[in-house]
Structure 1
């Protein structure tokens, strides 16, 4: 009788250990998918940052007197590059995502203003180099939007897994931390105002 009880207890312990290993491994997998999602966003944002100087120079050739818009784009790009470096060096993942998202949202707004400004210059809109750069930028923006969606989806799954009972016990034991979503700032949700009367 004692051996049957001992066997049952050992079986329960083995099942709990196997469950714990399974939960731990699934959380590690989700955490790595979150990191991969962030890396994909990072690559696309770097490509966008590399494309912007060419776009600014092309616009500058046709709309040189739009220096305020060009300066805003250049400054926003510099801020995004600086935020990328700071987020790469940061140990606080959620703060790094928030900093990077803020800088990238500012850059996106500046690019919208630049492209809106370009609409006022028919010669620029007909320039093949500008059209190619605009097409590349549009393609990158679509990829960035998809990568953000993927990142946020996988972040939601990861955060849910960490918070759900009983996997939250394993998460607490092994110090799994919630990941930040890549969110637009409230100002970025507003429709930009374009004024061609100037």
Structure 2
């Protein structure tokens, strides 16, 4: 009986060590995944802040530039797409469309010096600029924690634990390819 007791204790000790390592690694993945979720929630928070500011900005501009309906319509459409986007990829694409529409709005604003002097407009533009900065930082923070998480999922022995417990890689918040092209600001009106 003593012959079997020694190997049995060793086997139980090895199983206990493996279990402790597995569950410790799983808890590390849970923590890392929650960090990703928290960072993404901050991106969504800033996107929501942006969505909340835009109607006020558009209404202020409407008062001064009622004939610029196409620009304002494009902003409203882009805002709706961003509000309805659910994945990081869809949100990134909608975000880029909205950024382009807001860039065109700034060109319209240049044509209305009295609008730029309006205190409400200036305050809204400052809020929007602050939101854009916060959004940029939130996307950067999100991508940093996604990078850490994805490294954990891909590296050994984490890849084994990740596959056992179903932890998959997360998507980065990526800009649309069209975002690489700077918007054209044309004060001459010929579109070239």
Match of 1:107 among 85, 90, 98: 98
Q: In structure 2, what is the Cα distance between the partners aligned to 1:4 and 1:189?
A: 67
Q: For 1:46, what is the secondary structure of its paired residue?
A: helix
Q: TM-score, normalised by structure 1?
A: 0.89
Is 163-172 or 115-124 further displaced after alignment? 115-124
Secondary structure of the structure 2 residue equivalent to 1:165: coil
Higher mean displacement: 58-67 or 32-41: 58-67
Partner residue of 1:93? Answer: none
Task: Give 1:168's aligned residue.
Answer: 159
Count residues with an aligned counterpart. 187
Deviates more, 1:57-66 or 1:130-139: 57-66
Task: Report what 2:75 is aligned to.
Answer: 73
The structure that has the greater radius of gyration is: 2
Using the TM superposition, name which of 27-36 and 115-124 deviates more.
115-124
Counterpart CA distance in 1 for 2:121 and 2:83 is: 23
| Long gaps (5+) in structure 2 | none
Q: Could you say which residue in structure 2 is the equivalent of 1:144? A: 135
Separation (CA, whole Å) in 2 of partners of 1:23 and 1:108: 40
CA shift, 1:3, in A, is 4.2
Report the CA distance between 1:4 and its aligned residue.
Answer: 4.1
For structure 1, the 5+ residue unaligned runs are 88-95
After superposition, the CA RMSD in angstroms is 1.4
Aligned with residue 12 of structure 2, among 2, 10, 13? 10
| TM superposition shift of 1:2 | 5.2
1:75-90 mapped onto 2 (5 Å cutoff): 75-83=77-85, 87=86
2:52 aligned residue: 50
1:180 aligns with 2:171: yes
